Amino acid sequence: MMLSQSLYLLLAKRYSNVEIDVIAPAWSSPLLNLMPEVRQVLTMPFGHGTLSLLKRRRLGHVLRQNRYQQAIVLPNSFKSALVPFFTGIPHRTGWSGEMRYVLLNDIRTLNKQDFPLMVQRYAALAFDRQKMHSATDLSTLLPWPRLMVSSTDIDKMLCTFMLDDERPLIGFCPGAEFSLTKRWPHYHYAALAETLICRGYQIALFGSTKDKLVGDAIEALLPTNSRSYCCNLTGKTSLEQVVTLIAACQGIVSNDSGLMHIASALVRPLVALYGPSSPNFTPPLSHKARVISLISNDCKIRNESDKKGYHPSLIAIQPTQVLSVLQSLLPSK
């Protein structure tokens, strides 16, 4: 969702009077509401991965009254192209995928080498196919995702969660979707937290209810006298709240996750930790972000495993290395 903002920014820049509506899952509304180029968020009334053919057809008929001129379909699935087709939108654009040649009438064939980044693939759809052949054509035009949060909202959120206003705040995003293999070990997060707390910082742990176990595990490894400076907010915040709290942080340490992209869009000093996923496809798009990844042709990872199931390449990233990179980004206290 964050990477799609580059497309909206390009459309708003190219067409001064464009009105952009985005149909998306309900959870994403807080992010889209922070993007001024988006006029309206239309909540998708069916679950992810379900065909719901009749529901998609009914939604398409309801949306006909808006008289949209173009639909840009970002997912590559067959079902994602159904609503624009049922809506009768005359110009339906998207990359080829899952036999949807009838559903889309402006279909692009993707050469992954031409557009190596996901954000480039989204942004290229803002242009006619004749004008956009590769990422080189896009390089000087591509805006990075950016979210704006007011200082008033930040102050209110800090008071709401009673965070220490005398210690600079560092945020950890220890969760990641799909599996443990994208997570930096909780014991490394705990070691880094203890070092930062001893140096006068406070730590906030961010994540959904799915991340509560890892948040609790990090907190449990801290010495008793340090726990008062570690605020475990996993499962306790809405997405809107966590966006504002991330904006309040002087620095963020994160796995490859959605919250990483939010921190990047908020231009927070960010250390992004990658294991088997590739920073060459979905990197954080910010000059204040640094990536640590030990999977490369030059760096061999020991073939070891952890009883918690963490990936060897993430086990090998030591807290001292992360601390060194983070310190290079942080403002002087």
**Sign of CA pseudo-dihedral 103, 107, 111, 117:** negative
User: What tens digit of pLDDT does each residue of 231-281 get?
Assistant: 999 999 999 999 999 999 999 999 999 999 999 999 999 999 999 888 999
Tokens standing for residue 276: 């088997």
Tokens standing for residue 71: 């639909």
Report how far apart, in Å, the C-alpha atoms of 169 and of each of 77, 165, 284 are.
41, 9, 21
> Does the structure show a pLDDT above 60 at 169?
yes
In this prediction, residue 295 carries a pLDDT of: 82
In this prediction, residue 180 carries a pLDDT of: 80
pLDDT band, very low/low/confident/very high, at 331 (cuts 50, 70, 90): confident
In this prediction, residue 140 carries a pLDDT of: 86
Question: What are the residue ranges spanned by the domains of the chain?
Answer: 5-138, 151-329
Query: For domain 151-329, is the CATH number 1.20.120.420?
Result: no
User: What tens digit of pLDDT does each residue of 217-228 get?
Assistant: 999 999 999 999
User: What tens digit of pLDDT does each residue of 81-106 get?
Assistant: 999 999 999 999 999 987 888 899 99
Cα-flanking dihedrals φ and ψ of residue 49, to 5°?
90, -5
Give one word for 48, left, alpha or beta, with left for phi > 0 and alpha for psi -120 to 50: beta
Residue 75 one-letter amino acid: P
**Sign of CA pseudo-dihedral 131, 135, 140, 143:** positive
CATH of 5-138, one of 3.40.630.10, 3.40.50.300, 3.20.20.80, 3.40.50.2000: 3.40.50.2000
- What's the distance, CA 271 to chain centroid? 14
